[in-house]
Amino acid sequence: MSDKPLVDEASAPAVTRRGFLKLAGVSGVATATGGLVLAGKAAAVAPDGTPEQVHLTWGGDPCSEVVISWASLAPAINARVHVAGSNAPRATHHAVQRTYTDGLNGEVVFTYHVRLHDLHPGTTYQYQVTADNDSNAAQPFAASFATAPRGRAPFRFTSYGDLATANTNWVLSTPQSKFAVQAVERFAPLFHLLNGDLCYANLNPTHQPDVWRDFGNNNQTSAALRPWMPCPGNHEVEFYNGQQGYTSYLTRYTLPDNGTAFPGRWYSFRVSSVLFVSLDADDVVLQDGAAFVAGPAPLVPAASTGNAPIEPGTSFYINGYSNGEQTRWLEHTLRKAEHDPDIDWVVVQMHQDALSSSKGGNGSDKGLRAEWLPLFDRYGVDLVLCGHDHDYERSHPVRGCNHNTGVDAASGQPVDTLQPKPVLSAQTGNATWDTTHGTIHLILGGGGTSSPADTWGVNSGTGNPQAKVITRPNRPVPGTTAGTFVRPPADALEDAIWSAQRDTGTGYGIAVFDHDPGQPGGKTTITMSYYHAAGADQTANAEYTLFETIVLAKDRQRDGHGHHHD
């Protein structure tokens, strides 16, 4: 683990960051035991290099590689991390600096990243983050993390999406976001999957860096202690922040390399015998769900940016931006996993939903069904974890599709929604499922975003749950008020014959997954327990209680044999 020089990976204009004095305040220090200690010198008069928004991600190999990332309100001088482990002496690692200038308000954001290599598997490390101009230098930010075990071993991970921030100044933020972060710590996973729509900065366009800052400081109480692995959602797409609008996201996160011309948008990593595949569904969904200007006035960027006003009705639609590169990468990754005797499970993370019967949310997207579900079927993906709709829903295992079973929402004429087929024979016990027969989809959009309990759709004719389906791009259309624009609803409906369970009580919750690799010649399992925060729609700090538990069970792979599925 050698020292690395300080490198500025992105040039930024030498302008003063607006809002420093307004933003200056108390920062936190996460201790090695996970507590939060208020830093006495944090209320600085002027911005400096004090670390904040500290978070961890896995490197390419979670057994030996971890990335420590953070931000500061001004350029950090000699930003660095001190790391020590039980079998490793204290070492100093110098940070890589990445900056960007927000395309709407002109603020410069400073982030720092340290890649740790050659760590020992299954080992706890302590670290400190500091800089020469750290106002907390006498008591620098300190925390600990654990690397993944090598080989087949039990472990826990957690997941939800749509988190937002605890600062209610921002659109869609609620105090529940704070307790959602604390819920991760309650269950103490090895790592957490954050399924897109991280902070909703693009709904607060003149304050995007401020929203990201609140998000990062809220998450720090957990994300500084264990990797939080994100995927981009539609609300990570921001005007004038890069070709796909991901500059804020990509500057803050260092994620496993995917070997393509689109680093950071999608990636994979393996822990024990589970392969995790994180995707950017914005690339293939038909829904135009990212930033758009509703009107009637244009969105006018700060003069310092030099960017032109954005006229009402303008949207940032990035469907197809990779020209199929992501799908080709996905097929290659899944095909390779199919023939890897050390991989028993494949778990996919993405933001938008292929199977959601939410009436109050977005519903299902045919773009995902057409582009990726055939690959999930072909290569035996076990679980798909999503957010987007702010609720909890679990599908039956599904494989293949029925054609022309949907109807146009306006005319009632038949529409091919590619309705997924449930495989009920995959149920091998009261709450046990064999996912070699089909893929289970989970909607986990209840991180902390403001979300009343959904009113679920039902087909009055059949009594089945009913799903909205987006089968064509739903670009903004003129609203009822002159100069304003709205997005049309989903254009089709179908019976959600694939829906197995829905939480009708609240939109808030967290999924906890416990993986047991099993013994040679026996079964391997993933037990999923979903905890919901009943009452959180009415009051903050609602207690998380168990909603349901299911067990996924399959034969453990044998050396020299790949996956098998129907």
pLDDT at site 130: 98
CA distance linking residue 54 with residue 283, whole number of Å = 29
User: Which pLDDT tens digit goes with each residue over 490-529?
Assistant: 999 999 999 999 998 888 999 999 999 999 999 999 999 9
Average pLDDT, the chain: 89
Band of pLDDT at residue 9, cut at 50, 70 and 90:
very low
Domain-located, residue 111: no
pLDDT at 413 over 90: yes
User: Which pLDDT tens digit goes with each residue over 284-331?
Assistant: 999 999 889 999 999 999 999 999 999 999 999 999 999 999 999 999
Band of pLDDT at residue 17, cut at 50, 70 and 90:
very low
pLDDT at 558 over 80: no
Average the pLDDT over 255-279 and give the result: 98
Average the pLDDT over 434-441 and give the result: 97
pLDDT at site 7: 28
pLDDT at 90 over 60: yes
Domain-located, residue 540: yes
- What φ, ψ does residue 447 adopt, rounded to 5°? -55, -75
pLDDT at 563 over 60: no
Name the strands in the sheet holding 191-194, side by side, starting at the edge strand that comes first in the sequence. 228-230, 191-194, 155-160, 509-516, 523-532, 545-555, 432-433
Domain-located, residue 5: no
Boundaries of domain holding 502: 152-196+266-555
pLDDT at site 449: 87
Bridge-based pairing state of the strands 155-160 and 191-194: parallel
pLDDT at site 453: 58
Helix (H, G, I), strand (E, B) or coil at 186: helix
pLDDT at site 40: 30
pLDDT at site 557: 79
**Helix (H) or strand (E) segment spanning residue 128:** strand 124-130
Helix (H, G, I), strand (E, B) or coil at 195: coil
Band of pLDDT at residue 452, cut at 50, 70 and 90:
low
Count CA atoms within 13 Å of residue 104 on its CB side. 23
Q: What is the DSSP secondary-structure string of 360-420?
A: SS--EEHHHHHHTHHHHHHHT--EEEE-SSSSEEEEPPEEEEESS-EEETTT--EE---EE
**For residue 103, which of 241, 242, 282, 290 has the smallest C-alpha distance?**
241
User: Which pLDDT tens digit goes with each residue over 171-214?
Assistant: 999 999 999 999 999 999 999 999 999 999 999 999 999 999 99
Task: Say which CATH number the domain at 528 has.
Answer: 3.60.21
pLDDT at site 540: 64
Average the pLDDT over 468-483 and give the result: 95
pLDDT at 152 over 50: yes
User: Which pLDDT tens digit goes with each residue over 359-375?
Assistant: 889 999 999 999 999 99
Average the pLDDT over 397-413 and give the result: 97
Domain-located, residue 470: yes
pLDDT at site 10: 29
Q: How many domains does the chain have?
A: 1
Question: What does the buried/exposed string (b/e) look like for 502-522 if buried means 16 or more CB atoms within 10 Å of the residue's CB?
Answer: bbebbbbbbbbbbbbbbeeee
Domain-located, residue 226: no
Domain-located, residue 141: no
pLDDT at site 134: 98
Domain-located, residue 317: yes
**Helix (H) or strand (E) segment spanning residue 492:** strand 492-495
- In the numeric block, which tokens belong to residue 203? 């709904």
- In the numeric block, which tokens belong to residue 430? 């009261």
Average the pLDDT over 47-58 and give the result: 98
Average the pLDDT over 243-272 and give the result: 98
CA distance linking residue 217 with residue 71, whole number of Å = 10
Count CA atoms within 13 Å of residue 115 on its CB side. 15
Average the pLDDT over 216-239 and give the result: 98
pLDDT at 164 over 90: yes
Domain-located, residue 505: yes
Which residue(s) pair with 486 in the sheet? Answer: 477
Band of pLDDT at residue 26, cut at 50, 70 and 90:
very low
CB within 8 A of 29, min separation 6: which ones? 36, 37, 38, 39, 136, 139, 140, 141, 142
pLDDT at 113 over 50: yes
- Looking at the chain, the whole-number percentage of residues with pLDDT higher than 70 is 89
